[in-house]
Amino acid sequence: MKKSFFFTALLVLASIASFAQVKWNADPAHTSVIFGVKHLGLSFVQGHFNKFNGSIETADSTNFQNAKINFTVDVTSISTGVEQRDNHLKSDDFFNAAEYPNMTLKSVSFKKLSNNKYLLLADLTIRNTTKRVAFDVTYNGVITDPWGLKRAGFTAKASINRFDYGIKYADKLPSGVDAVAPTVDITVNLEAVKQ
C-alpha cells in the first residue's frame, strides 16, 4: 500500500513539474515601447511610454516556442519630448487616458519561424477595443549577465491602424493629406530577466 501511494505521489509530482512554467519579467531599465506616426505626410514623430510591465512564461529556460506573453502599458506615461503634444495625445482625440489609462497585450500564439525569427499573434487592447495584431519578432539571444541573472532579448515590430481602436483624430490638410497618419508603427525592444 505504501509503495503504491509513493508511486502515485511521484507521478503527480512529475506531472506538475512537466507543466511548470519559467517566468521572465521585462527589465524596465533596458526595455522600450516605441511608436512612430507620419506627420503632415512629411516626417515621422516618435514617442515612447515610460511606465509598463511585461512578462513571459515559457516551458523551460531555453525554449521560447509557445511562450505566453503579457504586457500592460501606462498610457499616461506617454512621452514625445513635447509636453503640449503629450497632453493632446492623452486627450479624447487620441488615447483618452483619463478613461482608458492602460493598453494591454496578451499573446495568442508565439511560433518559431527560423533560428532567430518568431511570429507573435496577440490581442492588443486600446481604449477598451481589442484587435488581433501580428508582430514580427527577432530573438536577440540569451545570456547570463555578470551578476548571475539570465537575460533574453527580443525586438518586436508591428503596424496598426489607430482608427480601429477609436483613436479618432482626423484633421486633414487642404490637400487631403492626414495631419496625423492612420498607420502607427510599434517597436518593442524587450530585455527580460528570468525569475
pLDDT digits (tens, 9 = 90+) for 38-72: 999 999 999 999 999 999 999 988 889 999 999 99
Domain assignment present for residue 40? The answer is yes
CB 139 within 8 A of CB 117: yes
By the 10 Å C-beta count (0-12 exposed, 13-18 middle, 19+ buried), 156 is classed as buried
Number of domains present in the structure of the chain? 1
pLDDT in tens, 132-174: 999 999 999 999 999 999 999 999 999 999 999 999 999 999 9
The whole domain housing 100 covers 21-194
pLDDT of residue 3: 55
Domain assignment present for residue 15? The answer is no
Bigger pLDDT: 30 or 10? 30
Cα dihedral 36, 38, 43, 45 sign: negative
Report the SS3 class of residue 156: strand
Report the SS3 class of residue 16: helix
Give the Cα separation of 156 and 165 in Å (integer).
20
Give the Cα separation of 160 and 45 in Å (integer).
15
pLDDT of residue 61: 81
| pLDDT higher than threshold 90 for residue 1 | no
Domain assignment present for residue 37? The answer is yes
Domain assignment present for residue 36? The answer is yes
pLDDT of residue 65: 93
| pLDDT higher than threshold 50 for residue 9 | no
Summary mean pLDDT of the chain: 91
- Cell 530585455 maps to which residue? 191
